[in-house]
Amino acid sequence: MTYTAPVKDMLFTMKELAGLDTVAALPGFEDANLDTAQAVLEESAKLCGEVLAPLNVEGDRNPSSWRDGNVTATPGFRDAFRQFAEGGWQGVQHPVDYEGQGLPKLIGTACIEMLNASNLSFALCPLLTDGAIEALLTAGTEAQKQTYVPKLISGEWTGTMNLTEPQAGSDLALVRTRAEPQGDGSYRLFGTKIFITWGEHDMAENIVHLVLARTPDAPEGVKGISLFIVPKFIVNEDGTAGERNDVHCVSIEHKLGIKASPTAVLQFGDHGGAVGHLIGEENRGLEYMFIMMNAARFAVGMQGVGVSDRAYQKAAAYAKERVQSRPVDGSAKQSVSIIHHPDVRRMLATMRALTEGSRALAYVAAAHCDIAHRHADAAKRAEHQAIYEFLVPVVKGWSTELSLEVTSLGVQVHGGMGFIEETGAAQYYRDARILPIYEGTTAIQANDLIGRKTVRDGGAVAKALLADVAQTIEALGRHEGAAFRSMKRYLEQGHRSLAAAVDFVVANTKTDPNAVFAGSVPYLKLAGIVLGGWQMARALQVAAQKQSEDPSFYGAKIATAQFFAEHVLPQATALEASIVTAKGGEGVLALAEDQF
């Protein structure tokens, strides 16, 4: 079974929940209406379904390979990347001034979901290139932008992000790669970087490495880190790729999943130093790298949504075909397909509800980002930027954590055959396992959500969102029906739980940080469940109004919202208890180090 992009659900989410019409009214986005979105999504769906999805299994069975410093991509990937690049897909949401298409992030987000659903390993290459483009557009000189960004958007070149070193994982204060200034304004870099996604490959003419390093007089810690452009091939004055730079891939990793994506160990400066150029100012590298990281974190959240949808599609198709056992209600004398069994329905409904909830929250976040960049009013831009920044760790953390549950359920629906590689269900599970780890673990996202996004403003953004949720709860009470009763009841409970958790975090972070941060991941999950449930409640209202237009589609929306209300939202109360009632730090820290 290949992948069929859920274009109809994506367009529903964009229009009814994320406010595509509002985004299309922003300066510069006037052409980004529903017709444009539909045309773009349908073309993206063709590429992803017909070209990229069939290569997913091939990438798992025949991963990228390293030999003598060179990496060869999985057979078929190079040609697929050419088609991706020539179709203009790298530039969907990048500026027209640099040969991009200049479409909203909201439309780009749906394309990114499809890309990741069809082929997670392949999608990582454009993901890192997007991050490099964002960093250069924000902090690069005009000459650097003109030299690198059009080539990155065209797919002639790709980009990477070089943070991690053998001794420095998430703690970037320990970065030791050094950059020595030369008389001509360039630098020579020396050091080793690990976990560099698509750090070496044969799909593009050049690879543009963005590298964190220290200059000789830099202060210790994160305040002394600078960001450099270090291309694989030094760029000539006419903008073409020239002689080989002193950066080499010394190995690639053997991994649990995403096997087609080469994870490189890069050595800088074995033969006199890798030539690099400073981006922005010295010692502000971490600030610039966070631009890349925020773009990448949101995109990894979309990987969680995409792989969840792919696993759901496969499990649903299998459940309709696999005949096993008679129905428990005695409605048939012979064995039936397993989709007739209540627990299989429960698993499939869980997969579907979590996928739709996380998709909706991510698309809404993307729309806030668009408004933050394009609204005419500076105060409105700041307001929406704050909401977007609050939602990024939730999108990244919650969407990737739930992808483990969804892809695991996908294996479970297949039963014993799910454990057999030939069905393909296990690949989604293995591929998803990295998502809560890279680009900042779930704990790092949760710490960010607490420290920078909740405590710093006294919970202002969180409480503003809760006020919006309360308005939706009030509106639910004006409707009849079981779905509305369930949603009102459980979203109300979730709202109380999240409000209590926000108050606890704001009140106790400074006085009892261990108690708060011991519950940081439950706090992130609580935020995801309640805010995702809020989007499902909004979808329920629209679906009820429009059900007569398309009974099957909108009826499924209503049923999925009811399931989310009754089976996902009740988890909020338990999460609140682990954060607030139990003051989670006591139990977490009760065991002494030598008792583990």
Whether 291 shows a pLDDT value over 90: the answer reads: no
pTM of the full structure? 0.97
- DSSP bridge partners of 277: 229
First-to-final CA distance of the chain: 45
Beta bridge partners of 247: 268
Burial 500-509 (b: 16+ CB within 10 A, else e): bbbebbbebb
- The beta strands (E) that lie in 56-186 are given as 65-67, 70-72, 157-162, 178-181
CA distance 163 to 160: 10
Amino acid 170: pLDDT: 79
What pLDDT does residue 584 have? 59
Q: Which residues pair with 213 in a beta bridge?
A: 226
At residue 581, the pLDDT reads: 78
Q: Is the pLDDT of residue 230 over 90?
A: yes
Which whole-number Å values give the CA distances from 9 to 18, 170, 352, in the listed order? 12, 36, 12
**Could you tell me if 355 and 308 are in contact, meaning their C-beta atoms sit under 8 angstroms apart?**
yes
* CA trace torsion 341, 347, 349, 350 (10° rounding): 160
Query: Is residue 321 pLDDT above 70, yes or no?
Result: yes
Lowest-pLDDT choice from 217-221, 253-257, 385-389, 558-562: 217-221
**What gap in Å lies between CA 84 and CA 96, rounded to an integer?**
18
- What does the alpha-carbon distance between residue 443 and residue 516 come to, in Å, rounded to a whole number? 12
Axis-axis angle for helices 285-321, 378-414 (nearest 10) = 40
Long-range contacts of 343-347 (CB under 8 A, 24+ apart): 344/319, 344/413, 346/567, 347/315, 347/409, 347/412, 347/413
For 76-100, how does the pLDDT look when each residue is reduced to its tens digit (9 = 90+)? Answer: 999 999 999 999 999 999 999 999 9
Q: Tell me the average pLDDT across 460-469.
A: 98
Task: Give the active site residue among 165, 389, 439, 576.
Answer: 439
Domains for the chain: give ranges and CATH numbers. 54-87+119-283 (2.40.110.20), 449-587 (no CATH)
Task: Kindly state the percentage of the chain with pLDDT values over 70.
Answer: 99
Give pLDDT tens digits for 137-169. 999 999 999 999 999 999 999 999 999 999 887
244 CB neighbour count, 10 Å cutoff? 12
Is 439 a residue of the active site?
Answer: yes
**Banded model confidence at residue 492, pLDDT cuts 50, 70, 90:** very high
Q: How far apart are CA 248 and CA 230, in angstroms?
A: 11
pLDDT for residue 589 = 84
Averaged pLDDT for residues 262-272: 97
pLDDT in the model for residue 303: 98
Span 212-234, average pLDDT: 96
Residue 582, pLDDT score: 62
Burial class (CB in 10 A: 0-12, 13-18, 19+), 201: buried
User: DSSP string spanning 420-471?
Assistant: SGGGSHHHHHHHHTTTTTTTS-HHHHHHHHHIIIIITTTTHHHHHHHHHHHH
pLDDT tens string 94-104: 999 999 999 99
> For position 174, what pLDDT does the model report?
86
Question: Per-residue confidence at 583, pLDDT binned at 50, 70, 90?
Answer: low
Which stretches of 245-392 are assigned E, i.e. beta strand?
Answer: 247-252, 263-268, 274-279
DSSP line for 14-57: IIIIS-HHHHHTSTT-TT-SHHHHHHHHHHHHHHIIIIITTHHH
Region 64-84: mean pLDDT is 98
Residue 195 — very low, low, confident or very high, per pLDDT cuts 50/70/90? Answer: very high
Q: Is residue 123 within 8 Å of 116, Cβ to Cβ?
A: yes
Q: How far apart are CA 538 and CA 116, in angstroms?
A: 26
pLDDT at 23: 98
In the prediction, which pLDDT does 168 show? Answer: 82
Local confidence band at 586 (pLDDT 50, 70, 90 cut-offs): confident
How much is the average pLDDT of 398-420? 98
pLDDT of res. 305: 98
What is the model's pLDDT at position 590? Answer: 87
List, in order, residues 6 or more apart from 465 with CB less than 8 Å away: 387, 390, 531
- Give the separation between CA 269 and CA 246, rounded to whole angstroms: 5
What is the Cα–Cα distance from 313 to 319, expressed in whole angstroms?
10
Q: What is the pLDDT of residues 506-549, one digit of tens each?
A: 999 999 999 999 999 999 999 999 999 999 999 999 999 999 99
